[in-house]
Chain A
Amino acid sequence: MIQAAVVRFPGSNCETETLRALEAAGLSADVVWHRDDALRGADVVVLPGGFSYGDYLRSGAIARFSPIMAAVREHASGGGAVFGICNGFQILCESGLLPGALLRNAELTFVSKPVTVRIERTTTPFTGVYSEGATVTLPVAHGEGRFVASDEELRELDARGRVVLRYLAGQNPNGSTADIAGISNAEGNVVGIMPHPERATSGVLGNDTGAGFFTSLASWTSTLKGVA
């Protein structure tokens, strides 16, 4: 049994630092191969950043058919926590676990730099330790991060407070609609974000403001034990 499973797809490249960030927050975590079909009892599944299947066809379009995704879907529908970071966010959108899609950056360039985002939803397993409206500066590194969704989906995201992170005005690195950097499903247990909090979890990296995503998880999982 592990508390957190980090799924490694062919082409994932952020699984090691994601694992370390989870462990540093006190969670037992391990990497699960995408061809496995079970999550080893984990309370939390993280789909890490990278370029699963070389981004062939569309980012995340092929990873969604990996055998592990059936277990991820089941986990999500049972209220389990699912966190998609960057490519993981793209996979969640392609899977239909989150609405919308992530398209080529408006300026066509791959952006790799720190950006400041505002935390707008704190009632998720990943943002509980932050206060609403808090700003954090996190690295982004993506070529396809421009969030788009139908007008109806955008209204729904806004009306139900499902935007988790928004780039500060003037800091939108990719032309994302309404400066959206991360969203959740209606229940809040499935969250996808473009920035990389796992790269900002220690002073030695020059920034530890991302650690809160993982300490939030640690307190969320301890609440689970309380009710079990």
Chain B
Amino acid sequence: MTFRVLVRVMPRAGLLDPEGQAVERALAELGFREAAEVRMGRAVELAVEAASAEDAGRLVQTMCERLLANPVTEDFSFEVITP
């Protein structure tokens, strides 16, 4: 079965995120003063061939640990969308 997976990779809490800060300032410039704590991460969408949603999840977990996220600076989460 083919599962669609959406991976979310975020800078680890506590690490300086200058990109997020710049976007937050730009939002304020636009008048959105309500916006705060902006953090910039990365989204990865992929299709995974696996026997079950659990197997797909295990594969994606390994992909995140080995490549998609940097274990020193980033945290990840993902959702497997069952067809």
Contact = CB atoms under 8 A, between A and B. Distances in A.
A148 interface: yes
Contacts of B67: 57, 61
Given A103-B73, A148-B73, A149-B72, A108 B16 contact: no
Nearest to B15: A148
Contact of B70 (A101, A105, A175): A101
Given A57-B67, A106-B16, A175-B16, A101 B22 contact: no
Interface string B61-73: 0000001101011
Interface string A39-82: 00000000000000000011001000000000000000000000
A108 B22 contact: yes
B19 A108 contact: yes
Contact of A108 (B11, B18, B70, B72): B18
Contacts, number: 33
Nearest to A58: B70
Main SS at interface, chain A? loop
A94 B67 CA distance: 9
Interface string A106-118: 1110000000000
A159 to B, nearest CB: 19
A222 interface: no
A147 to B, nearest CB: 10
A34 interface: no
A58 to B, nearest CB: 6
A106 B15 contact: no
A104 interface: yes
Interface string B1-40: 0000000000100011011001000000000000000000
A161 interface: no
B27 to A, nearest CB: 16
Interface in A82-109: 93-94, 99-101, 103-108
Contact of A104 (B19, B68, B70, B72): B19
A223 interface: no
Contacts of A101: 70, 72-73
Contact of A61 (B11, B15, B16, B70): B70
Contacts of B19: 104, 108
11 contacts: A57-B67, A57-B68, A61-B67, A103-B16, A103-B73, A104-B19, A105-B18, A106-B18, A148-B15, A150-B72, A175-B18
Interface of A: 57-58, 61, 93-94, 99-101, 103-108, 146, 148-150, 175
Which 8 residue pairs spanning A and B have beta carbons closest together? Answer: A101-B72, A101-B73, A108-B18, A106-B18, A101-B70, A108-B22, A104-B18, A58-B70
Interface of B: 11, 15-16, 18-19, 22, 67-68, 70, 72-73
